[in-house]
């Protein structure tokens, strides 16, 4: 099996169809690709099947079903008792699927007639990633029976995607199979990583079926697995000529005395991420609190909007982070506006939390400030903050899938949008997007998002471009969470970063 983290391109169902076509056009028979796909499915089913028991293969009317016929034939040759059920008529199969079915010598029964009780495993080869309509009727009943088998502890292997999962969006088309493992081919699809598809896939296995990587430049994919191969080359490493300002300076805005912790978490993370010098812009009433808690991070007192603008005048501060614990309201709007419009070459502004909520329903006004200032901007909203900011925004449809919404928001605002969650999406205005892989649920703890904001700022201050800085920050955040495991709190995350960075080499 292939390593998806080293093959970051994600292909939509249409793009995968084009990859198949480009591979077949020079002379590779389609049935050869199907044979290799079926072999990969058979291998995974054999690995998961309990006590070499009966394997039920449920096939649909398209090429997904063809893969199932191949797997059934190969498993029968290995001595497994195989029972194959077909949704639809065998004589209606066409193309490579018909060829694969003709090579299967066993009995083909109607899928609804197949009993799953006592099976060693089930192969779901009903519908693939390009399913165009909701599953209903007889097919829905079959999927519900598969899920009853799965919930009872029976291993289910899905071919390409679990039937009912939209390969482009991860959404459920009516009902969807709950798989223990999913075997897919050549490259992953967005639906493998976007929820709820990701949770329904189980363990994802990526198989090489003979499609050459040379087809990718002709397809031009714009969506990627968020993995080091995507951004590691953009990270900066200190050398003998480095000093603290060459490594980048970060300014993090603090809230009032009673809510300073979030800014300190962000500042600590920025320092750990490699920024040479980090300061917390502290209102006068919070100076004593911040100073008592900070050591390597500096305190920069300010009074009012004019005082904050004076801090912005230092152009060595190449990243400004605003929002964590800053307090929602017109005062913060003024400070955000000042940061976005103050001239400074090569500066990145990171907006999170209260900075975004202070512009609730006014995404276009925020976009105008971003355009006016011309800085690189990264926004890091969770779903609630995103919904508030983009409420009523033209072009951002709340009903769209996560990937579409993040891309639309990035286009509207001219910023890199980090739409957080178990399937965090990083979207750039130029259409590029990265989707998180294996982000641990332990990150769902107070202050975790503030640490992410600081990681973005710390990387951006070193000159890492906004999309790469945001993508790297999301991955490093997740890697720190994985390294810590259960019991982590937000303060632990920056302290785990040196070990994670060392492991990357």
DSSP secondary structure string for all residues of 136-190: -HHHHHHHHHHHHHHHTT--EEEESS-TTB-TTT--BSSS----SEEEEESS--H
Q: State residue 245's pLDDT score.
A: 86
Mean pLDDT of 116-131: 96
Look at residues 157, 190, 138, 169 and name the one whose alpha carbon lies nearest to residue 75: 157
3-state secondary structure of 25: coil
Q: Is 476 helix (H, G, I), strand (E, B) or coil?
A: helix
How confident is the model over 96-103, as a mean pLDDT? 98
Evaluate if residue 324 carries a pLDDT over 90. yes
CA pseudo-torsion sign 474, 480, 484, 487: negative
Q: How confident is the model at residue 392 (pLDDT cuts 50, 70, 90)?
A: very high
Q: What value does the mean pLDDT of the chain take? A: 97
pLDDT given at position 74 = 98
Range with lowest mean pLDDT among 234-243, 340-349, 472-481 = 234-243
Judge whether residue 205 has pLDDT over 90: yes
**Res 242: pLDDT:** 87
Segment 245-257, tens digit of pLDDT: 889 999 999 999 9
Describe the strand order of the beta sheet including 181-185 as a list of residue ranges.
108-110, 82-86, 55-59, 121-125, 156-159, 181-185, 203-207
What is the pLDDT, as a whole number, of residue 305? Answer: 95
pLDDT tens-place string over residues 41-89:
999 999 999 888 999 999 999 999 999 999 999 999 999 999 999 999 9
- The pLDDT tens digits for 329-339 are 999 999 999 99
Asked if residue 180 has pLDDT above 90, the reply is: yes
Buried b (16+ CB within 10 A) or exposed e, 173-207: bebbbbbbbbbbbbbbbbbbbbebbbebbbebbbb
pLDDT at position 132, please?
87
Q: Is the pLDDT of residue 408 over 90?
A: yes
Residue 213 — pLDDT band, cuts 50, 70, 90?
very high
pLDDT score for 27: 83
pLDDT score for 26: 85
CB 203 within 8 A of CB 178: no
What's the whole-number mean pLDDT along residues 213-224? 98
Which residues are CB-contacts of 387 (< 8 A; sequence separation ≥ 6)?
398
Output the pLDDT for position 480.
Answer: 98
Best CA proximity match to 187, nearest among 171, 204, 199, 203: 204
Token pair for residue 42? 């058979």
Q: What length does the chain have?
A: 505
Q: Give the pLDDT confidence score for residue 80 in this predicted structure.
A: 97
Provide the pLDDT for residue 461. 98
Q: Cis check for the bond before 196: say yes or no (omega within 30 of 0).
A: yes
- Measured on CA atoms in the order 472, 477, 481, 483, is the torsion positive or negative? positive
Q: What is the pLDDT of residue 25?
A: 87
| CA-based R_g, the chain, Å | 26
pLDDT at residue 127, as a whole number: 98
Percent of the chain with pLDDT over 90: 96
The structure's pTM equals 0.96
Sheet of 376-379, strands arranged across: 9-10, 223-225, 433-435, 425-427, 416-419, 376-379, 348-351, 317-322, 249-253, 277-283, 298-302
Angstrom distance (rounded) from CA 374 to CA 212: 41
Domains and CATH numbers, the chain: 4-221 (3.40.50.10260), 228-235+245-504 (3.40.1190.20)
- pLDDT over threshold 90, residue 473: yes
Higher pLDDT, 243 or 256: 256
């Amino acid at each position: 099996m292939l390593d998806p983290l080293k093959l970051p391109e994600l292909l939509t169902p249409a793009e995968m169809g084009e990859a198949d076509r480009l591979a077949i056009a020079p002379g590779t028979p389609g049935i050869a690709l199907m044979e290799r796909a079926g072999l990969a499915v058979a291998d995974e089913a054999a690995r998961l099947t309990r006590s070499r028991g009966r394997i039920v293969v449920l096939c649909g009317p398209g090429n997904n079903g063809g893969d199932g016929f191949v797997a059934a034939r190969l498993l029968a040759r290995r001595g497994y008792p195989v029972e194959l059920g077909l949704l639809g008529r065998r004589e209606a199969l066409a193309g490579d699927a018909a060829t694969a079915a003709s090579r299967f010598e066993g009995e083909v029964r109607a899928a609804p007639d197949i009993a799953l009780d006592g099976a060693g495993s089930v192969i779901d080869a009903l519908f693939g990633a390009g399913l165009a309509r909701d599953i209903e009727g007889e097919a829905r009943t079959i999927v519900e029976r598969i899920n009853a088998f799965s919930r009872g502890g029976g291993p289910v292997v899905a071919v390409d995607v679990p039937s009912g999962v939209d390969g482009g969006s991860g959404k459920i088309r009516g009902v969807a199979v709950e798989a223990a493992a999913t075997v897919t081919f050549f490259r992953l699809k967005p639906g493998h990583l976007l929820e709820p598809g990701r949770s329904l896939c189980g363990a994802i296995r990526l198989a090489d079926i003979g499609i050459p990587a040379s087809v990718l430049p002709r397809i031009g994919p714009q969506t990627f697995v968020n993995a080091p191969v995507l951004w590691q080359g953009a990270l900066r490493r200190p050398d003998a000529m480095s000093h603290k300002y060459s490594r980048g300076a970060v300014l993090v805005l603090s809230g009032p005395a009673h809510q300073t912790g979030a800014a300190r978490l962000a500042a600590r993370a920025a320092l750990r991420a490699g920024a040479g010098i980090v300061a917390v812009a502290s209102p006068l009433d919070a100076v004593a609190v911040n100073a008592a808690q900070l050591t390597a991070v500096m305190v920069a007192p300010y009074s009012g909007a004019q005082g904050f603008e004076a801090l912005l005048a230092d152009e060595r501060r190449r990243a400004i982070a605003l929002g964590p614990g800053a307090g929602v309201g017109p005062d913060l709007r003024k400070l955000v506006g000042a940061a976005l419009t103050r001239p400074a070459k090569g500066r990145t502004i990171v907006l999170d939390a209260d900075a975004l909520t202070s512009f609730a329903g006014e995404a276009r006004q925020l976009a105008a400030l971003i355009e006016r200032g011309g800085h690189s901007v990264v926004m890091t909203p969770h779903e609630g903050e995103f919904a508030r900011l983009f409420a009523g925004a033209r072009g951002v449809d709340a009903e769209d899938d996560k990937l579409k919404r993040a891309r639309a928001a990035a286009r509207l605002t001219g910023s890199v949008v980090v739409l957080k969650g178990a399937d965090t999406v990083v979207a750039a205005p130029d259409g590029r997007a990265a989707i998180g892989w294996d982000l641990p649920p332990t990150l769902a703890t107070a202050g975790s998002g503030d640490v992410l904001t600081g990681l973005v700022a710390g990387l951006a201050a070193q000159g890492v471009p906004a999309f790469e800085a945001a993508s790297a920050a999301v991955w490093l955040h997740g890697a720190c969470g994985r390294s810590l495991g259960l019991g982590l709190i937000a303060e632990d995350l920056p302290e785990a970063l040196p070990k994670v960075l060392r492991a990357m080499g």
